[in-house]
Amino acid sequence: MDIATSLSATELARRTAATLDTLDNDDTEEILILKNNSPKAVLMSVDRYQALQEELEDLRLAALGLARLATFGENEAISHAEMMKMFGA
């Protein structure tokens, strides 16, 4: 795991406000939370979390598109003109 900033759970409990300010000020993107010197959680800003969620959705859609392309049958394709006729445009 390559997270540069880490913090013990005890230290997080003592410095919660300062830790949240660090994330809010973009001083760091994520903080690894340790308990008994073992990684237990990752703390990140809401903006960072939302960006990761959007990126994950983009990757899911790209994978779906690639899977569909792999099974695409050209003989089953409908032209743009045919689609326009079907949907009355």
- CB count within 10 Å of CB 31 equals 22
What value does the mean pLDDT of the chain take? 90
Report d(CA 88, CA 75) in Å as an integer: 23
User: Using one digit for the tens of pLDDT, what is the confidence trace for 16-41?
Assistant: 999 999 898 888 889 999 999 999 99
- Domain boundaries in the chain? 1-44, 45-89
Report d(CA 68, CA 66) in Å as an integer: 5
In this predicted structure, what is the pLDDT of residue 74? 82
pTM over 0.85: no
SS3 36: coil
Specify the CATH architecture of the domain 1-44: 3-Layer(aba) Sandwich (3.40)
